[in-house]
Amino acid sequence: MRYHPAHSIFLGVSLFLSVSACDWQSINTDPIRRAEATLAEQLPVAEAQTVRNLSGQGGRLAGIIIQHFKGIDAQPESYSAYLIDEQASNTFWQSGLYTGAMKDCFLIMQQADATQDHAYSAIARILMACNLGILTVCWGDVPYQEAFVEEQPVYDAQETIYAAIQHLLAEAIDLLAQADSIPGEDDLIFAGDLSLWKKTAYVLRARYALHLTRRDPQAAERALSFLAKANYADLQTQPDFPYQAALNEANPLALFSIERPDQLALGTGLLELLQDKSDPRLPYLARSQERDWLIYDEDSSLFWTRTDTDYPLISLTEIHFLAAEAHLRQENLSAADHSFREGVRWHFRQMEIPPQHLEQWLLHLPDLREATSHDALREIIEQKYIALFAQGSIEAWVDYRRTGFPQLTVPDNANASFNPSLVIPRRFLYPISERTVNNRHWQAAVDRQGGQLLDQHLWSFFP
Amino acid sequence: MFLLGLFFLFSIPGRTQEVLGQASDKASGQTDSLVQLADFLKQIRQEKQVSFLYETGVVRSKVLRPPANLQRPLRQILQDILPGLGLEFIAIDAQNYIIKPEGYSVETLADKKAVRLLRGQLINGVSAEPLPGGSIQLPGLRQGTISDEQGFFQLELSADVEFIRISYLGFKTEFVDVRDRNQVTVQLTPLIAALDEVVISALGIPVARQKLAYAHTERSTEALAISGEANLVNALRGQVPGLWAMSSSGSPGAMSSMVIRGFSSITGNNAPLIVLNGMPVDNHVFGGGSNGIAPSNRLIDLNPHDIASVSVLKGASAAALYGIRAANGVIVLNTRRGSPEQMEVRYSSSIGVQLNNQLPPRQNEYAQGIFREGKAVYMGPESRVNSSYGPPLHSLVYDGASDYPYDQHGRLVPASQYDGQPARTYDPYETFFVPGWTQDHHLQLSGGRQDLTYYLGMGYFRQTGTSPYSSFKRLSLKGVFDLALSDRMTLSWQTHLSQSGGNRFRRGSMLSGIPLGLFRTPPSFDIGNGLRGKRAADAPSSYLLADGSQRAYRGNSRYDNPFWAINRNPFSDAVMRTLQQLTLTYQWSPQLKLTYRAGGDIYSDRREDAFDRYSGTHPRGYLEEQDLYFAGLNTDVLLQWQQHWGDSWTLDALAGYNAFYSLRRSRRTMGEELRQPGIFQMSNAVSVHQEEAEVHKLVTGVFADARLTYQDWLTLNVTARNDWSSSLEPGYNRFFYPGAGLSVQTKQWLPTAWDKTISSLRLRASIAQVGNDAAPYLTNTYYQPGIVDGDYYLPGTQFPAYGVSGMERSDVKGNKMLRAERAQTVELGTEASFWSNRLTLDVSWFYTKNSGQILESTLPAPSGFLRKTINAGSILNRGWEAAATLDWLNGEDLQAQTRLVFTRFNSLVADLPADAQGISLAAFSALSSVVTNNEPYGVLIGTSYKRNENGRRIIGYDGFPLVSEQQQIVGDPNPDWLLGLQQHLAWKRWSLDLALDVKAGGDLWNGTRGVMNYLGISRESGEGRTVTDYVFSGVTPDGEENNKAVALADPAAGMRGIYWRRYGFLGLAEAQVEDASWVKIRSLGIHYTLPLSLWDKGKRRLRIGGMVRNLILWTPYSGIDPETSLRSANEIMGWDYFNSPGVRSLECHIDLVF
């Protein structure tokens, strides 16, 4: 072969390409996305998603069931008629809970446990407990022990889930005591104030203990002990998530009112309760339009549909009502009455309602010390039900199922397709994705609970 | 190599002589008693079983009166006829005779060592014209000569020289065997022009058509109606068997897509690879879901006028040489090139006007309103009511209020209450649409010298659409330079620069889309507020209220007034693109050639999108800026080898290396909420966030191709390739795939009596495999900026937010075990020609199995993931295709040619695992496109009628059809077959061209109709409104024949009593799925060619003509032109939901060559 300059060009170029072609893996690594993320980057998403799970689609659905809301158009209207099918909660279950906040919490726990970042380990456990709480009160048996590990995780019995919630919170309290470094502004709720996280963990333990009043005779006692450890009476700060005015950072209920106006009104149950007693809070909760009370106002004057209204993981008003109920169940009537009034007071304060309304209203309220325990419980749960509007529909739904208060009427247009006995729904149907891609375990869970329709009782609240 | 052209004094295989005989026969036309010498010799050859050896030029155009008695000895016959023609013969032996001009000496070749004189001539193998200035060289030595003005040359060479190299720019270089010869005539094959004989196959290499073992279609752009067509894809509709090319709408610059021989990949790519002069060209469509603008497919950046011909390679066997990216076939584009013969300047120009060709029929009798309290009540824009179930317009009058913002004549009130001016009927179609204009200019300059040729093309294309302000324009510059660096080395450079883009408007499921707001407007509302078309578009009074909010038929929000949409929701794109490629070839020896090719395809695409405050979609305003960038870098090293063994065997072998690297990047900046209306700048947005994506991929391959030919009638082709792809993990990322094919000319075995009928009958068979890799980054699991969602009804919060950044793990699980998809193809075909090529027929049957599909399986969310990419499922493609060309008339003045193109394919899904059943390609609330076992690809599933076991509809006791609990398959969008017909008629200087397109079968979901019915704005719901005794055919739940008569819209029953509203907003999907077959007169053109001078053989000319496109459309489809596609990816077919209408156009053009 004679030498020619072209030879070396060919040779050189071919060689260059073969060498550069060797490093396949670096080419197949996404330069924008990453293989890992820091704890400080993951925590804000976990917090925001957990609060969104309370305030978004799940909260609205529970709110419709418990008649905080009434759907007057489009899909909410069919939900109000109990056409809540296996499609309705699918996104909530998928991107909100399991691959949303719970996956985030699981990964933070895994990572922080390994690096001994106890503060992160603890906060992730508290958030995980909140999400498990949402799951189990909506669906009963849900996957947890095998979740995030197996591709098709089994479902755990609801009793196990409640135990897991308490266990997570107990672990969190221990870890908080050991924490040496603290998160900063990435902790959107408490900006790294671990003492507040500890109190939050205790009040949550109290909440989930009280969920089991129908199953656990010591429920009230446990709840009170947790509340005592939280020193709840001195609590001034609730775990608020700081929603902002910009649409991307807005309170979801406000966002819903902007994106889908004229779809939600005040629910019949809540409206009747407020109107019967001429409750001064009604005009602060909704605006009257023709036959309905819309939950938003175009000039954004209503508290809950302002884009920058904060949303609590658990509200101070709820904490006081929890205490009131626990005291009542322990037959400490004066403490119950005190906490009952504190609950109402905190609600007025939170809603920025002028104090003169509050004082008048407190006079209006019955004295629990003189009421029968049945009436006292009804009063507590009714006031709690009002206070939980837009910030705790899921908890109000729990209260209804375990106490029967407030009294609600099934709407005339209720559809029996998923609710054959036409009761106030007691659970959600499992989402369609579980039926189709986790069928074996889904079937076992449905069989174990005796069905999955809306009128099927959950173990926890079964009378 | 076919037509090697070594015919003098050399033992020619009998068959080659035959072909020559035919060629001259065709050229001469009919002569009564005279026959061609060549034909006469052929006849004798057959009768007497002898061979004649001659130079073709010697016998060309010599005619004779054949002697009556052919039984005499051959020598006597020859002695009788040859001297009269100036010829003589030498008998080598009893079977072989040399025929040569009188007086020519034939040297005996006894002394091989002596220096000898080689004489020869170069001629153009197609036009038979001599080629002056061609280069004749002795390989390895700087010795050679150049042909003279008549193409003749002579060269001294020693007897042991075996080959000479003949080169001529623009023609294929030939190596001529000169052993034992001293006179040659070399026919050179033009690289482009010889479409019948030589095709540009894979990798830009010319191959004799008869050596191809697979179907191959080549169309010159002269034959395609490219003038005035922005997108080359559109010009291919109905032109190529096996290719389904489809435009998505008539909007300027809207994407068009292509599928070759059916769909092969479930979630991957189904688009063919585009190759321009050996270089891959990106034809991606970025974006284009069911709710935005229709973006362009990027092939639109090429000026069709720069393209000389389009070759279509179908299926795996044809594409094995291009590797995995060619799994869906290859479209090979060959640009125009210069020729050293003559400098040519050409200017082509066209101007056209366009109108919508079919729009959904509307009612124009009933006003906006609803049924309330037992009657139809008018509800004006201020009520925000969306439907047109109001009273008849003739029952309404204007109250004359001058301050009423929604109509200049005042509010509409019942005629019974007020004595005012009667209500008008407004037609929003007439108010809104304007004629669209197209102008297309192309100037080209080409020419060259012997060692350098050039082509320069400059194009300007501009189109405005039938929506005011919509536009597309393209400015392009193309250069192709071929340079001979030495007798062994050539360099060619192709360069392309373009700028394209325009203003586009939204369509589909989008409150700010033009068709949505327009088609839904009731006849009682005037979107133009007294003005029309361009004037209404320019006047804010048509779409603005005094407070700056929107004037629309639903008050100041919800569905955008189309005039608002075009003014306040602008979208524009601007693409800058360059393509560069250098090709260096080096002829090592007569047998061996090296080619090195390196090129880049780079573009940026800037898109700006805005929604003003008060828009239906983003009431607080929204801005988006998107910067897209693509770079594709390609390198080929090719080694070509040609070897002859004796006279019968030829091997054409090729080995190569290819590397293709691509980078796709996008950066999207989104601004939420505008502080000030009408200011579309990011600084005016309340919150701004960004999204980025970057995808890199490298694919390299080594390949080999060997083609062994025996005596020009048998070719065996074997290919092999191994690819490595960066998108799969090491260990799984290399895949080898072989292929083999056979091509046999069977004519020689047919009885001689059939010769007159069958000119050629070639059979071919091939079997091949090809791989298709995954998209990048599916093998790993990633963390990405967090999104807070889980709420079907609300947009998610995107991090960074709340002043911090946030990350979360993606819900797609990486799969390190992912492998490439595999396609196996079998193809059988025949290519036949009859009556001296008057009729040619090319038929292929194919079967492809694409197995191990890369698809996303769904995981249960408690696993922590929602999706994982796996290998599962197959698609089986079966079909056949045919092309037939019939030359009816081939006279001097009158020519007529008909071409028919037929395509049929069937893509069937199989082998999907249970958890991947019914994979949804795309979903809409009432309808989705899915893949499911034993069904065609992308069948439509939707809400449907409840039916009994006999398939009869079950009608409820109230007299209306019941709905099935589960969604069912309601349609198959795949066409049954496609047919294209092209008729060419030429009379003297006039020519008439007609192209007809037929699509048989293929369903289309007319979602537009469902909604227009629901809203009472369709003609159907207008005319049917008064029907009170309709009986739905079907059976009652008891199984009795239904005979209950119902009113379709009884005001007494309120809105719930309206039949068209019983099944929801979109209606029953099954009821809206329609047959979208069509017959279209795609184009009808007439041209007149005026020669500018006679002395240069008519090259200088002026051609003028006119053309109508989409002149007539026959279709049972009741919506817009059924040639429509809402989704950009060609995988998702059969959706029409407020898509932009198609257009018909009239254009005139001129084409000047001088």
Answer whether A8 touches B (CB < 8 Å). Answer: no
State the pLDDT confidence band at B929, using cuts at 50, 70 and 90.
Answer: confident
- Write down the pLDDT at residue B892: 80
Of B414, B413, B396, B415, nearest to B404 by C-alpha is B413
Reading the block at residue A266, the tokens are: 């005040």
- Write down the pLDDT at residue A174: 97
Q: What is this structure's pTM? A: 0.82
Considering only CB atoms, A437 lies closest to which of B776, B783, B859, namely: B859
B727 contacts in chain A (CB < 8 Å) = 28
Mean pLDDT, to the nearest integer, of A300-310?
Answer: 92
How long is chain A?
Answer: 463
- Write down the pLDDT at residue B1079: 96
- Write down the pLDDT at residue A319: 97
Mean pLDDT, to the nearest integer, of B636-657?
Answer: 89
Residue of A nearest to B812 (CA): A99
Chain A contact probe: residue of B622, B797, B818, B915 with most A CBs at under 10 A:
B797
Answer whether A177 touches B (CB < 8 Å). Answer: no
Contacting A residues, span 249-308, partner chain B, CB-CB under 8 Å: 249, 252, 255-256, 258-260
CB contact under 8 Å between A45 and B786, yes or no, is yes
Contact present, A140 and A427 (Cβ < 8 Å) = yes
CB contact under 8 Å between A100 and B790, yes or no, is yes
pLDDT in tens, B543-561: 999 988 899 998 877 899 9
The alpha-carbon gap from A351 to the nearest alpha carbon of chain B, in Å, equals 23
C-alpha separations of B336 from B191, B277, B299, B478 in Å: 10, 10, 17, 10
Considering only CB atoms, B792 lies closest to which of A27, A34, A91, namely: A91
CB contact under 8 Å between A433 and B489, yes or no, is no
The alpha-carbon gap from B359 to the nearest alpha carbon of chain A, in Å, equals 29
Partner residues linked to B601 by β-bridges? B579, B632
Contact present, B66 and B35 (Cβ < 8 Å) = yes
Mean pLDDT, to the nearest integer, of B586-608?
Answer: 92
Residue of B nearest to A252 (CA): B794
A35 contacts in chain B (CB < 8 Å) = 780, 782-783
Contact present, B775 and B268 (Cβ < 8 Å) = yes
CB contact under 8 Å between B730 and A25, yes or no, is yes
Contact present, B488 and B584 (Cβ < 8 Å) = no
CB contact under 8 Å between B789 and A247, yes or no, is no
pLDDT in tens, B739-794: 999 999 888 888 888 888 888 899 999 999 888 888 899 999 999 999 999 998 89
Answer whether A96 touches B (CB < 8 Å). Answer: yes
Of B938, B1137, B1144, nearest to B292 by C-alpha is B1137
- Write down the pLDDT at residue B225: 79
Of A260, A264, A253, nearest to A307 by C-alpha is A253
Alpha-carbon torsion angle A45, A47, A49, A55, nearest 10: -150
The alpha-carbon gap from B397 to the nearest alpha carbon of chain A, in Å, equals 29
- Write down the pLDDT at residue B1: 35
Considering only CB atoms, B672 lies closest to which of A49, A248, A260, namely: A248
- Burial environment of residue A38 by CB neighbours within 10 A (0 to 12, 13 to 18, 19 or more): middle
Radius of gyration of chain A, Cα coordinates, nearest whole angstrom? 25
C-alpha separations of B957 from B645, B954, B1052, B1056, B1062 in Å: 85, 10, 19, 16, 15
State the pLDDT confidence band at B368, using cuts at 50, 70 and 90.
Answer: very high
In the predicted structure, residue A39 carries a pLDDT above the cut 70? yes
Locate the domains of chain A by residue range: 7-29+40-250+263-270+285-294+302-312+410-454
- Write down the pLDDT at residue A22: 53
The alpha-carbon gap from A188 to the nearest alpha carbon of chain B, in Å, equals 8
One-letter amino acid at B150 equals: Q
| Number of A–B residue contacts, CB under 8 Å | 252
Greater model confidence, B565 or B648: B565
pLDDT in tens, B165-189: 787 766 777 778 777 777 888 888 7
pLDDT in tens, A276-290: 999 999 999 999 986
pLDDT in tens, B704-747: 999 999 887 899 999 999 999 999 998 888 889 899 999 998 88
Chain B contact probe: residue of A19, A248, A251, A435 with most B CBs at under 10 A:
A248
Chain A contact probe: residue of B808, B965, B966 with most A CBs at under 10 A:
B808
Contact present, B458 and B443 (Cβ < 8 Å) = yes
Greater model confidence, B1110 or B224: B1110
Check the CA dihedral B29-B35-B37-B41 and report its sign.
positive
In the predicted structure, residue B195 carries a pLDDT above the cut 70? no
pLDDT in tens, B241-259: 999 998 888 899 999 999 9
- Write down the pLDDT at residue B318: 65
Cα separation, A159 vs A248, in Å, equals: 38
pLDDT in tens, A45-69: 999 999 999 999 999 999 999 999 9
Mean pLDDT, to the nearest integer, of B811-827?
Answer: 91
Answer whether A410 touches B (CB < 8 Å). Answer: no
Contacting A residues, span 336-375, partner chain B, CB-CB under 8 Å: none
- Write down the pLDDT at residue B748: 83
CB contact under 8 Å between A33 and B700, yes or no, is no
Task: Answer yes or no: CATH 1.25.40.390 is held by domain A7-29+40-250+263-270+285-294+302-312+410-454.
Answer: yes
A146 contacts in chain B (CB < 8 Å) = 862
Greater model confidence, A146 or B39: A146
In the predicted structure, residue B321 carries a pLDDT above the cut 80? no
CB contact under 8 Å between B790 and A255, yes or no, is no
C-alpha separations of A77 from A46, A64, A265, B171 in Å: 31, 9, 10, 75
CB contact under 8 Å between A153 and B863, yes or no, is yes
Mean pLDDT in chain A?
92
Task: Give SS3 for B322.
Answer: helix
One-letter amino acid at A342 equals: E
Of B120, B93, B88, B122, nearest to B105 by C-alpha is B88
State the pLDDT confidence band at B213, using cuts at 50, 70 and 90.
Answer: confident
B698 contacts in chain A (CB < 8 Å) = 21, 24, 27
CB contact under 8 Å between B790 and A57, yes or no, is yes
Of B216, B185, B179, nearest to B199 by C-alpha is B216
Residue of A nearest to B810 (CA): A99
Mean pLDDT in chain B?
86
State the pLDDT confidence band at B341, using cuts at 50, 70 and 90.
Answer: low
Please give the ipTM for the structure prediction.
0.93
- Write down the pLDDT at residue B194: 36
Q: Which residues of B182-191 are buried (b: 16+ CB within 10 A; e: fewer)?
A: bbbbbbbbbb
Contacting A residues, span 119-148, partner chain B, CB-CB under 8 Å: 142-144, 146-148
